[in-house]
Amino acid sequence: MLRVIGAGFPRTGTTSLKAALDRLGFGPCHHMVEVLMRPEQAERWLPVLSDGPTDWEQVLEGYQSAVDWPGSFFWRELADAYPDAKVILTVRDPHRWYASFCNLLDRPQVSPGAPGAGDPAMETMMRFRPVMDLIGRSTFGDSWSFGESLPGEEHAVEVFRRHIETVKESLPAERLLVFQASQGWEPLCEFLGVEPPKDEPYPHLNDSESLRRNRERVMRGEPMVSPFDTAS
């Protein structure tokens, strides 16, 4: 049963928010890394491609919260399915978000037979790709596919800003927190009705660095590691 729904785009502090929600007792928290590290996750999400209603209890079984894609793309459906869940919209400067997202997509491709081609995370993403293509086309336009560079900065930033306004206009203020990681524990804990951890900084996980290291591991034929293994 979801208690917290993330509505922010990737690269808006979602990795740190996952660590924070886990720390505050709202975990396990679903995040894209769950799909990468757990092969069964790809199969769980494939029903969202069908025309019928999605059984979100089955898709997100075992999780109390969800941030980042794929979950945050379906924020509206999840908010309807879990009317008591609170929604957190992570935001950041749109141009810095664009640069960060471009860096995420600017990665070497692993071709069949190459080192890393048999890595379970890569195989999972191949099965999961139809879901990400749906998300990408719906977000940036029909001509875009997951793994390609983002559209031009002007268009992508407009998409980013429009998404923020849509979320803010669609939910009552008492159900929504617009949040930046730089704000730390206080607004997040107040919104969730819990006490902030004492003498413990808000997590600021360097997911860019983790992605870089994992790219190198895959190219060497080594398995990926979760960025949360070192989270405090």
- pLDDT tens for the chain, residues 1 to 232: 999 999 999 999 999 999 999 999 999 999 998 888 888 888 999 999 998 899 999 999 999 999 999 999 999 999 999 999 999 999 999 999 999 888 877 654 444 444 444 566 667 778 899 999 999 999 999 877 776 678 899 999 999 999 999 999 999 999 999 999 999 999 999 999 999 999 999 998 765 555 555 555 544 555 555 555 544 3
Backbone angles phi, psi at 179, to 5 degrees: -135, 135
**Which residue is it, tokens 């997202």?**
101
Name all domains of the chain by residue range, CATH numbers in brackets.
4-217 (3.40.50.300)
Q: What is d(CA 61, CA 59) in angstroms, rounded to the nearest whole number?
A: 6
User: Which are the contacts of 205, defined by CB distance < 8 A and separation ≥ 6?
Assistant: 15, 16, 19, 227, 228, 231
Distance from chain centroid for Cα 73: 8
- Establish whether the linkage from the previous residue to 70 is cis, with ω within 30° of 0: yes
